[in-house]
Structure 1
Amino acid sequence: MIVFVAGTTAEFIKIAPVIVELDKRGIDYRIWSTAQHAQGVEETLSDLGVRQPDRYLVSKHRTGVATVSQVPRWLADLTVTTLRSLPTLRQEANKGIVAVHGDTFTTVIGAILGRTIGAKVAHIEAGLRSGSWRSPFPEELNRRIVGRLAHIHFAPTAREAQNLKYRIGRRGVRVVVTEANTVVDALRTAREVQAPAPELPEEFGLVTLHRFELVHDREAYRTVIERVKELSHKIPLVMIIGKSEQALLAEYGFENIFDERLIPIDKLGYSSFQAILLRAKLVITDSGGLQEECAALGIPCAVHREYTERHQGLGANIVLTGMNVDVLDDFLANWSDYQRPSQLDAFHPSRMIVDVLEEETGPQGA
């Protein structure tokens, strides 16, 4: 049996194409959710053509984790509920494969659970490293832990596979290069769905700035917001902004920043957000996931953070600012020079992943 353990919206987005490919081949699987995120998950799975989780590993699966203070209670609930269910989980997995994704707390928990119930652990999006365990934290640490626990590592490119060279050659360990991240498969699905999006200017840029280390650094956040406002005089910008970011903008004195050139939009479901991204002329973000999507689409993108564990698009259409305002300014002055052809249809990583899962478990995923 193939079991997927996921809990965040991003994890579900990136395992969804693998699940869809399993469905196409008639291979059985299970989805176990830690409910690390609750809001938006059902809608996202529906958008991507994936059924809802078969099992929740927490007792109150609709709660989710919205703040750091909620993590201990969620972890306690998850631990107690999972331990009570171990005999059933062991029987359901049937010494098959437990697949986890990425770098969240759920990734680590799923890998430990897989080991505990005697299954092989497969890590999708394996081998990413920023070079500093402190940034991004705890994501970088989570990846390193799962790197020690996984039996099958699905590395997006040869660069990530090289980061796993200490695992290559070990008994029972397999490193597979998928040539791209499963996000390209998810993007193709979103492109075909053509979800509704707000009415926007014919040409615009997209802004998403939400990482804790940026938005809670008053001066750094103020500086980038000032640059965004200046750019909006040249090209309209759409800024995705939740309630917490709205409160911070007001606290920092930017409560009146928005107008017909700088347009605020509340956080959207996956397909609706992708409908905006697919039309954007440029992107300013601090998101590693959005970096990967822009790399595949060829959209000019400034990643405003000090480190990134992702290398897709760097030196082409992606600029890592390193939090250097001069680098950001240069990108904003010359963003159109970074446009590249889309690579969205060039790679099919989910097919390669399912090829391996099928080989490891048999044609019916038994």
Structure 2
Amino acid sequence: MEEVRVLVVFGTRPEAIKMAPLVKVLERTPGLRPVVCVTAQHREMLDQVLEVFGIKPDYDLDLMKPGQSLAELSVSVLTGLEKVIRSSGCQLVLVHGDTTTAFMGALAAYYSQIPIGHVEAGLRTYDKYAPYPEEMNREFIGRVADLHFAPTVQSGLQLAAENRIANVHVTGNTVIDSLQWTIQEKFNHPLLAKLDKSRKWIFMTMHRRENWGNPMKEVFEAVARIAAEREDVEFIYPVHPNPEIVKLAGEILGGKARIHLTEPLDVVATHNFMARCHFVLTDSGGIQEEAPSLGKPVLVLREKTERPEGVEAGTLRCIGTRTERVYREMAILLDDKEAYRMMSEASNPFGDGYASEHIVQIILEFFDL
């Protein structure tokens, strides 16, 4: 069989972080040729990751537009990827996770009757609005995928429970692979000059659509209260560029002592600040996997997570967004050494750092290479 062309589709920064190690393994595997297509659902944050990993896309749809709706974005991605699939001559399309790019990439491949591989398959909350729209995106992809690359045993079992028994493979999570590229012993960044190394650093992210408005306001108020009461704590918060988030963060957290609002950080800075922080406060999905791999407790700003393995292992705790609870849970990790030890030393359930190699081996077997 001739060289198999594998179209790797992604568009957001989290997707790029998790697909980049897989692209690098595909590049060095005889018999497989990766063809990279980015939709640029995130533009600047995506480009930062591509630069770190030295990846130059074969196709760049550059679809990011200010204020576009999910429907507008979906149509653009679907029509753009239909043309890419046709012109690339690909024999397999790989999508990641649960973004609009992933959903439309899988749908475009299905319409073209091209096999689909779903990286990070099987994550579920079974609540179609939590997270929104990600939960339904990944369920839809699960209906059409031909290869399901589940990051954990539990996600694989969830697929089996949905009768996706054929071609479900537990591979680990590729985000663990990416840490091999990004963690630096001699890390340097301008923000380090503003931070006091004797204090406990709390690394924070918050951006999810379902948390816009009052949930975000309540979390910010808890953060402001902790910072005001405790001189031994500093917050590092790379603010998502969405104007609503920038405005609210500025109003509640801007100008406060020991709260550092920054532009979005590249993947190297993000991973290295997490590696040096005391704990992480986030509503992100990927960070729930990255931080435990670095031995950091994660307080998840959501009522439920599609990564229950982390909760069961003890590395994650879902705390919602109400001010009093967020404040109380942060205080516990700051004051209770045993509670902190139990979370920071809990076993990481998300893989061994070789997920990309496992996935590529499965692809070779799928094509009898």
After TM superposition, the score normalised by the length of structure 1 is 0.85
Code of the aligned partner of 1:120: P
Structure 1 residue 225 and structure 2 residue 230: aligned?
no
Q: Is the Cα–Cα contact under 8 Å of residues 274 and 294 in structure 2 kept in the other structure?
A: no
Is structure 2 residue 143 aligned with structure 1 residue 137?
Answer: no
Q: 1:286 to 1:292 in 2, by over 3 A?
A: same
Question: 1:247 — aligned with what?
Answer: 247
How far apart, in 1, do the equivalents of 2:250 and 2:324 lie? 26
Q: Does 1:191 align with 2:183?
A: yes
SS at match of 2:47: helix
Q: How many angstroms does 1:220 deviate by?
A: 2.4
Offset, 1:213: 2.9
Which of 208, 213, 221 lines up with 1:211 in the alignment? 208
How far off is 1:347 after superposition? Answer: 3.9
CA offsets 1:97-149 (integer angstroms, 9 cap, x no match):
11110001111111112222222111000000013111111100101101101
- CA change 1:222–1:280 in 2 (3 A) is closer
Equivalent residues in 2 for 1:180-329, closer than 5 Å: 180-192=172-184, 196-197=188-189, 198-199=191-192, 200-202=195-197, 203=199, 204-217=201-214, 220-230=218-228, 232-242=230-240, 244=243, 245-251=245-251, 253-256=252-255, 258-259=256-257, 261-315=258-312, 316-323=314-321, 325=323, 327-329=325-327
Q: How many residue pairs were aligned?
A: 347
Question: How many Å separate the matches in 2 of 1:30 and 1:159?
Answer: 31
Measure the CA separation in 2 of the matches of 1:247 and 1:23. Answer: 42
Give a deviation string over 1:266-305, Cα, whole Å, max 9, x none: 2111112222111111111111211111122220121111
Matched with 2:168 is: 175
1:22 matched to 2:31: no
The correspondence for 2:37, drawn from 18, 32, 48, is 32
Q: Select 1:153's aligned residue among 126, 140, 148.
A: 148
Displacement of 1:20: 1.3
Q: Please say if residues 59 and 84 of structure 2, whose CA atoms lie closer than 8 Å, have aligned partners that are also in contact.
A: no
Structure 1 CA distance for aligned equivalents of residues 229 and 310 of structure 2: 23
In structure 1, the partner of 2:58 is 54
Q: 1:158 to 1:263 in 2, by over 3 A?
A: same
For 1:21 and 1:193, locate their aligned partners in 2 and report how far apart those are by CA, in whole Å. Answer: 24
Question: Could you tell me whether the CA contact under 8 Å between 2:236 and 2:261 is conserved in 1?
Answer: yes
Are residues 283 and 273 of structure 1, via their aligned partners in 2, closer, same or farther at CA, if it must alter by over 3 Å? Answer: same
- Shift of residue 85 of structure 1? 5.6
Amino acid at match of 2:247: A
Contact 1:38 1:65 in 2 (8 A): no
Closer/same/farther in 2, CA of residues 254 and 235 from structure 1, 3 Å limit: closer
Is the Cα–Cα contact under 8 Å of residues 48 and 190 in structure 1 kept in the other structure?
no
Is the CA contact 1:48–1:186 (under 8 Å) kept in the aligned structure 2?
A: no
* Residues 194/22 of structure 1: CA separation in 2 closer, same or farther (3 Å cut): farther
Counterparts of residues 93-172 of structure 1 (less than 5 Å): 93=90, 96-166=91-161, 168=163
Alpha-carbon distance in 2 for matches of 1:332, 1:267: 23
AA paired with 1:292? E
8 Å contact from structure 2 (residues 301, 319) kept in 1: yes
Q: Are the equivalent residues in 2 in contact too, given 1:208–1:285 (CA < 8 A)?
A: yes
1:180-229 alpha-carbon deviations (Å, 9 max, x no partner): 31110112211159664221332522122222333411652444333442
Structure 1 stretch displaced more, 186-195 or 345-354: 186-195
In structure 2, what is the equivalent of residue 8 of structure 1? 12
- SS where residue 164 of structure 1 aligns? helix
Q: Any stretches of 5+ residues in structure 2 without a counterpart?
A: 334-339
Indicate the SS of the match to 1:176: strand
Q: How far apart, CA to CA, are the structure 2 residues paired with 1:7 and 1:25?
A: 24
| Distance in 1 of aligned mates of 2:175 and 2:221 | 31
TM-score of the pair, normalised by structure 2: 0.84
Aligned match of 1:357 in 344, 363, 369?
A: 363
- CA RMSD of the aligned region, Å? 2.7
Distance 1:288 1:250, change over 3 A: same
Amino acid at match of 1:186: S
Identity %: 27
Kindly indicate whether the alpha-carbon contact (under 8 Å) linking 1:305 and 1:321 is maintained by their aligned counterparts in 2.
Answer: yes
Deviation of 1:230 (Å) = 4.3
- 1:42 deviates by 2.5
Contact persistence 1:237–1:262 (CA under 8 A): yes
Residue 9 of structure 2 aligns with an amino acid whose one-letter code is: V
Q: Which structure 1 segments of 5+ residues have no match? A: none
